[in-house]
Structure 1
């Protein structure tokens, strides 16, 4: 008689039930924090009232759009430029020897360290904020994509050459498809880095943005608005994550996956 593997009881619980359980746990933790530190953690009702008030007045959407547009612009420029730079680093050793040391050097510097220098040069407008986001997102993406290109199975390249493929065919039909998962991982990391860097760029100047909203609210000890800004950043981050995951399923569905 064949032994059947016993399925744990939690494996039978639908995903939507786990979502409800997770939300309930987060809500309970929030209420506990509010009761323990009421001056720091506003209650969910207070945050909801702050959200409704600012949504009706339109200020919430102004701050959200200002931050979202900066993130998408800085990330978009970084994504477009990081792909060719990463491929050049992987394809041409002289280019890599010149560029890679400086990329690794700047990548280890926190954005807050050079944000003041950029703002002093470009002012406190959108250009300086987008530039800071671009630098941070570009560095993390170019390193990730470069590692993916270098990790392409050499057997595929050799097989293509044996079959008579040209260098251009190898690049477009072997290297790029094999590197697509790493490009999408780089996009995910770049978006996360862009959101993190957004705070560093917005809290030092400007009149619009979620970072500025959080800073101004903290100055007046409006902790409900501070939490609202944090939650809005989290919602944007989750939305980015869902979009990238959809693209991963769409463009890398041909890859074999191992399920245990």
Structure 2
């Protein structure tokens, strides 16, 4: 699989180089982007922007997941909690987190809080529904069998519901991570002074395409690395599950 991944990346770079060398597309080639990345890394700008964006994504993402998992369990396990919470979850799900930016600025100011908040909202809304679906989708046969064997509600929840819903939770975590990175660029429009999204916006003003591509590639690489980490955790937590 790794060999195929590397082959796909090499083919993509070759196609990109070929199209730009032939003048088929008005974009910088891989060489120009690599030179700009080296220049940005040499003066520390690239690492500073990457660290700023990564900190915001991690803060919003971890807060979102930390709240989404218990809320999703409550919605799936208790009908009363589902009736009270689900309307709000479904309401905010149809509102793009980016549309919350003006409200976040007015209520939270222009510091780090509104940036982290919109990322948190994106991660939370993407993950809470997956957790809820995982809980309500647990096979009733497992629960009934546990009750017949004398297990109480807490034991059933801990030994049956949590393991059975973990694959759904991890899917929600991956989706939430992608939503967090997708939101960070817009979040950094809020009076940011650093960050990959901020750098892209600055480069746009001067039509600095290589810098835009450097930021895009950096976001992709960081997001992919974090996603691979989540996949590794998923495999560890769901080692009991049969895989194709």
The two structures share one fold, judged by TM-score above 0.5: yes
Indicate the residue corresponding to 2:24 in structure 1. 36
**Aligned pair partner of 2:127 in 114, 119, 141:** 141
Question: Does 2:92 align with 1:106?
Answer: yes
Unaligned runs of 5+ in 2: none
Aligned partners of 1:111 and 1:132 also within 8 Å:
yes
Indicate the residue corresponding to 2:191 in structure 1. 205
Question: Does 2:25 align with 1:49?
Answer: no
For residues 168 and 243 of structure 1, what CA distance do their matches in structure 2 show? 30
For residues 63 and 212 of structure 2, what CA distance do their matches in structure 1 show? 30
Count of paired positions: 242
Unaligned runs of 5+ in 1: 1-14
For residues 57 and 136 of structure 1, what CA distance do their matches in structure 2 show? 33
Structure 1 residue 17 displacement after superposition:
4.3
Cα deviation per residue 1:187-217 (whole Å; 9 max; x = unaligned)? 1111001001111211242111100000101
Indicate the residue corresponding to 2:139 in structure 1. 153
Indicate the residue corresponding to 2:74 in structure 1. 88
Indicate the residue corresponding to 2:204 in structure 1. 218
Question: Does 2:221 align with 1:235?
Answer: yes
For residues 173 and 2 of structure 2, what CA distance do their matches in structure 1 show? 27
Under a length normalisation based on structure 1, what TM-score does the superposition of the two structures give?
0.89
Aligned partners of 1:111 and 1:200 also within 8 Å:
no
Output aligned runs, 1:117-196, within 5 Å: 117-196=103-182
**Aligned pair partner of 2:63 in 77, 87, 100:** 77
For residues 61 and 229 of structure 1, what CA distance do their matches in structure 2 show? 11
For residues 175 and 185 of structure 1, what CA distance do their matches in structure 2 show? 16
Indicate the residue corresponding to 1:251 in structure 2. 237
Aligned partners of 1:160 and 1:170 also within 8 Å:
yes
Cα deviation per residue 1:203-232 (whole Å; 9 max; x = unaligned)? 242111100000101111110000000000
Please give the root-mean-square deviation of Cα atoms over the aligned residues, in Å.
1.3
Under a length normalisation based on structure 2, what TM-score does the superposition of the two structures give?
0.95
Structure 1 residue 24 displacement after superposition:
2.9
Structure 1 residue 107 displacement after superposition:
0.8
Indicate the residue corresponding to 2:101 in structure 1. 115
Larger radius of gyration, structure 1 or 2?
1
For residues 63 and 77 of structure 1, what CA distance do their matches in structure 2 show? 21
Q: In structure 2, do the counterparts of structure 1 residues 53 and 248 end up closer, same or farther at CA, with 3 Å as the change threshold? A: same
